[in-house]
């Protein structure tokens, strides 16, 4: 995934482009660059490294001109080199271009262009787009782009300039996100909304294969056929501050602290004291089966949803990795509801799985955080987790929002399918209303977790174990630790440990048990703790406040308040999120920009 930002107006573009890139840096930080049109010529500055480093090296922000495009890169085609950094050019018509995505047929197109005499400087698929547009240029950049799109296959979002049309940016997308920020006497193009919020709240979400032309005085929108469209301008309500760090050292910590807010905002308008309100699913009440498709952390929230939906709504539910589902020729009929879960709404595998399900006749419901994203737009029904923009690569508040939305769905299905009476609905709503305060309690008592992180940071491996509805939290805790601190960690069902992983246990291996008090598997997990203890494992227990039985079983105990069986996981996950954050910081890493990772994987 990469970040794109463009500006056209009457202000100096350089500083604005750098500021926009900094808000997109979580999308890619291998390299960055800027192209502007300065005195009728394309001026380019780019290098490898993070934006601050490149600013020091090549003074990105002092590039001249009032129109420009900028890019921060997460390498997919071609190594991390200065030459492969964007923007890329095709100089016959002064073309300069920045791109996010993967052009799947770039080799074929490259061969055709080479036969026409084009010479390639880089290993990137992006340079192919620049030369292709150049080869179609006959005096109109917009028309050249429309012609080029006919030859491109794959995922892209790009912005392109030509020194022959100095006051214009042309932009287009397919599968990768791109928005237009509509200003007064100036206009912006960016990979997502937070990058333009400092300048405007009026946003156009480009749809697949639409082409936009931006000048200082206006924005025009075209279909891929060239037919003119009326831009659909959305007014963004959340403010730039929400998308900034708000005084926290990292987005990840800020977003962990926003989780009480994620619960209340996601439930806002969807519950009274005696009922859950999800009118969007009125036509779905008699579904026979549910298949959840997702990736990563969103897949973990799906596993929790499976417990909820089967336990309360008695709907057969299975959870599939989206990347596996789409190549399995799944059995789907009209009684199947496919639920796509995605924070970004742009994950290529989840989008493709959703399309596969629709082609086979399923109704698709999307649980998404990013408004206007591809998955949100293509689903039959979309339910937004209103966690606010999630910038940190490690998903935290969006995960909580996803589980809350699955919980609401569960109660709604249970009530409307006459499996819950009114008092039971009231009780489950009461449990839900307790959650924000209970989450806040854990956040307020985080010092103990920070101290534990100092000891944990020296370890090389870890096991996370849980049972029942806490097994997905074991997976999630392990993923959080891996992705921000680079300590290898595995999540496992606690009972499975004796079928192999227990061979790994020694005093160097911290074993984190989720052993919150419940009447299901709690006793069994205590036995699993004893098994590890007898082999000299170092045990960290996530246990319920007031639980005395667990005392003396673990080397360290982190306490969380008690809620219901279905909601306890949202309390157990908090210490694990905080632990992974503090371990990463203790090990000297930036948890917002973990190596090799991107916030949204918009490529397969
Ligand atoms: C989670 O912390 C990771 N960043 C990653 O696993 C993420 O959950 C996954 O890529 C899915 O992203 P999505 O929710 O935006 O679809």
Full DSSP string of 213-234? EE-SS-EEEE-TTS-EE---EE
From ligand 1's centre to the CA of 594, what distance in Å? Answer: 13
pLDDT class of 192 with cuts at 50, 70, 90? confident
Contacts of 117 (CB under 8 A, 6+ apart): none
Q: Which atom of ligand 1 is nearest to the CA of 480?
A: 2
Q: Find the 395 Cα to ligand 1 centroid distance in Å.
A: 6
Q: Output the pLDDT for position 95.
A: 96
Stretch 55-62: mean pLDDT, rounded?
91
Average pLDDT, the chain: 92
What would the mean pLDDT of 117-130 be, rounded to a whole number? 91
Q: Which residue has the higher pLDDT, 37 or 372?
A: 37
Compute the distance from residue 343 Cα to the ligand 1 centre, in Å.
7
Show the ligand 1 pocket: residues with CB < 6 angstroms. 295-298, 342-344, 347, 350, 393-395, 483, 600-601
CA of 47 to the centre of ligand 1 (A): 28
List the residue whose alpha carbon is closest to atom 16 of ligand 1. 342
* pLDDT for position 77: 67
Confidence band for 519, pLDDT divided at 50, 70 and 90:
confident
> Confidence band (pLDDT; 50, 70, 90) for 98?
very high
Beta strands in 142-232 (DSSP E): 154-162, 169-174, 179-182, 187-190, 202-205, 211-214, 219-222, 228-229
Which residue's alpha carbon is nearest to atom 10 within ligand 1?
296
Give the whole-number percent of the chain exceeding pLDDT 90. 76
Structural domains of the chain sorted by starting position, each given as residue range(s) with its CATH number in brackets: 3-242 (3.60.20.10), 245-443 (3.40.50.10490), 445-592 (3.40.50.10490)
Ligand 1 pocket test, candidate residues 395, 397, 403, 593, most atoms within 8 A of CB: 395
336 vs 175: which has the higher pLDDT:
336
Give the ligand 1 atom nearest the CA of 350. Answer: 16
Among 27, 177, 191, 295, the mutation site with the greatest number of ligand 1 atoms within 8 A of its Cβ is: 295
Give pTM, 2 decimals: 0.72
What was the pLDDT predicted at 243? 64
Told to judge if 2 belongs to the known catalytic residues of this protein, a careful annotator would answer yes
Expressed in angstroms and rounded, the spacing between residue 156 Cα and the centre of ligand 1 is 20
According to the model, what pLDDT value does residue 1 have?
65
pLDDT in tens, 446-460: 999 999 999 999 999
Residue 103: band (very low, low, confident or very high) from pLDDT cuts 50, 70, 90:
confident
pLDDT at 50: 84
For ligand 1, atom 2: residue with the closest CA: 394
345-394 pLDDT per residue, tens: 999 999 999 999 999 989 999 999 987 789 999 999 999 998 988 989 99
**Residue 583 pLDDT grade (very low, low, confident, very high; cuts 50, 70, 90):** very high
The fraction of the chain above a pLDDT of 70, given in percent, is: 98
User: Nearest 5°: CA angle at 267, between 266 and 273?
Assistant: 175
Q: Which of 240-244, 349-353, 524-528 has the lowest mean pLDDT?
A: 240-244
Strands 169-174, 211-214: parallel, antiparallel or unpaired by DSSP? antiparallel
Alpha-helix runs per DSSP H in 494-549: 522-533
Q: Using the mean position of ligand 1's atoms as its centre, give its distance from the Cα of residue 297 in Å.
A: 5
224-227 LR contacts (CB < 8 Å, sep 24+): 224/146, 224/149, 224/150, 226/143, 226/146
Q: Closest ligand 1 atom to the C-alpha of 599?
A: 4
First vs last Cα of the chain: how many Å apart?
Answer: 11
Encoding tokens for residue 505? 């246990």
pLDDT score of 240: 67
Query: Which protein residue has the closest C-alpha to ligand 1 atom 4?
Result: 394
Cβ atoms of 202 and 159 within 8 Å: the answer is no
- Cβ-contact 10, 44 below 8 angstroms: no
Q: What angle do CA 572, 573, 576 make, to 5 degrees?
A: 105
- Report the separation in Å between the CA atom of 366 and the middle of ligand 1, taken as the mean of its atom positions: 15
Q: CB within 8 A of 477, min separation 6: which ones?
A: 464, 489, 491, 512, 514, 573, 576, 577, 579, 580
Alpha-carbon span 596 to 416, nearest angstrom: 45
Q: What is the distance between the alpha carbons of residues 382 and 379, in angstroms, rounded to a whole number? A: 6
- Ligand 1 atom having least distance to the Cα of 344: 15
Q: How confident is the model at residue 598 (pLDDT cuts 50, 70, 90)?
A: confident
| Closest alpha carbon to 356 in 382, 318, 323 | 323
Q: Whose CA is nearest to atom 5 of ligand 1?
A: 296
Which stretches of 92-201 are assigned E, i.e. beta strand? 95-103, 154-162, 169-174, 179-182, 187-190
Q: Catalytic annotation on 498?
A: no
Atom of ligand 1 nearest to the CA of 396: 2
Candidate of 293, 297, 368, 398 to mutate for ligand 1, largest count of ligand atoms within 8 Å of Cβ: 297
Catalytic residue among 46, 142, 397, 599: 599
Question: Of all atoms in ligand 1, which is nearest to the CA of residue 600?
Answer: 15
Structure confidence by residue, pLDDT tens digits, 407-446 = 999 999 999 999 999 999 999 999 999 999 899 889 988 9
> Does the structure show a pLDDT above 90 at 239?
no
Q: How far is the CA of 389 from the centre of ligand 1 (A)?
A: 14
- Give the pLDDT band of residue 599 (cuts 50, 70, 90): confident
Q: Which of 296, 397, 594 to mutate to test the pocket of ligand 1 (most atoms within 8 A of CB)?
A: 296
Cα distances (Å, whole numbers) of residue 177 to 23, 316, 348: 15, 34, 11
CB atoms within 10 A of CB 114: 12
User: What is the tens place of the pLDDT at every residue in 469-494?
Assistant: 999 999 999 999 999 999 999 999 99
């Amino acid at each position: 995934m990469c970040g794109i930002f463009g500006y056209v107006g009457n202000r100096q573009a350089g500083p604005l482009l750098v500021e926009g890139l900094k808000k997109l840096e979580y999308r890619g930080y291998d390299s960055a660059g800027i192209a502007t049109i300065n005195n009728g010529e394309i001026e380019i500055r780019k290098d490898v490294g993070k934006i601050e480093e490149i600013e020091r090296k090549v003074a990105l922000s002092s590039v001249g001109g009032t129109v420009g495009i900028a890019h921060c890169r997460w390498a997919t085609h071609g190594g991390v080199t200065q030459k492969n950094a964007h923007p890329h050019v095709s100089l016959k018509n002064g073309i300069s271009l920045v791109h996010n995505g993967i052009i799947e047929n770039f080799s074929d197109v490259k061969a055709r262009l080479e036969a026409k005499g084009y010479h390639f400087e880089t290993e990137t698929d992006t340079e192919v787009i620049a030369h292709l547009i150049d080869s179609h240029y006959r005096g109109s950049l917009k028309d050249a782009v429309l012609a080029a799109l006919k030859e491109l296959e794959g995922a892209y979002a790009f912005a392109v300039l030509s020194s022959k049309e100095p006051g214009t940016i042309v932009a287009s997308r397919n599968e990768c996100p791109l928005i237009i920020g509509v200003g007064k006497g100036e206009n912006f193009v960016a990979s997502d909304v937070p990058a333009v919020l400092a300048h405007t709240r009026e946003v156009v979400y480009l749809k697949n294969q639409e082409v936009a032309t931006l000048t200082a005085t206006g924005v025009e929108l075209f279909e891929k056929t060239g037919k003119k469209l009326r831009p659909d301008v959305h007014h963004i309500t959340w403010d730039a501050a929400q998308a900034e760090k708000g005084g926290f050292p990292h987005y990840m910590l800020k977003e962990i602290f926003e989780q009480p807010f994620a619960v209340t905002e996601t439930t806002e308008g969807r519950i009274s004291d005696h009922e859950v309100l999800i009118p969007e699913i009125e036509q779905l009440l008699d579904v026979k089966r549910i298949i959840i498709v997702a990736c990563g952390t969103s897949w973990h929230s799906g596993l929790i949803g499976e417990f909820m939906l089967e336990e309360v709504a008695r709907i057969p539910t299975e959870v599939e990795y989206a990347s596996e589902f789409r190549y399995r020729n799944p059995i789907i009929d009209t009684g199947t509801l496919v639920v796509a879960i995605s924070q970004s709404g742009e994950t290529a595998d989840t989008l493709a799985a959703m399309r596969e399900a629709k082609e086979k006749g399923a109704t698709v419901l999307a649980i998404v955080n990013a408004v206007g994203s591809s998955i949100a737009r293509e689903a039959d029904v979309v339910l937004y987790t209103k966690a606010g923009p999630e910038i940190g690569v490690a998903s935290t508040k969006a995960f909580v929002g996803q589980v809350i939305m699955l919980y609401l769905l569960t109660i709604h299905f249970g009530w409307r399918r006459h499996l819950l009476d009114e008092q039971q609905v009231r009780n489950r709503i009461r449990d839900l209303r307790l959650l924000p305060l209970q989450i806040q309690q854990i956040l307020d008592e985080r010092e103990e977790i920070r101290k534990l992180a100092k000891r944990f940071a020296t370890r090389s491996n870890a096991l996370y174990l849980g049972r029942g509805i806490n097994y997905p939290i074991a997976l999630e805790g392990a993923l959080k630790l891996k992705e921000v601190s680079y300590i290898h960690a595995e999540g496992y069902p606690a009972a499975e440990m004796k079928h192999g992983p227990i061979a790994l246990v020694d005093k160097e291996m911290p074993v984190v048990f989720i052993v919150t008090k419940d009447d299901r598997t709690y006793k069994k997990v205590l036995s699993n703790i004893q098994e590890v203890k007898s082999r000299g494992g170092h045990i960290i227990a996530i246990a319920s406040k007031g639980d005395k039985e667990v005392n003396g079983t673990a080397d360290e105990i982190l306490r969380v308040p008690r809620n219901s069986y279905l909601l306890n996981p949202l309390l157990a996950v908090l210490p694990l999120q905080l632990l992974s954050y503090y371990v990463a910081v203790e090990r000297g890493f930036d948890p917002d920009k973990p190596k090799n990772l991107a916030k949204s994987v918009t490529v397969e």
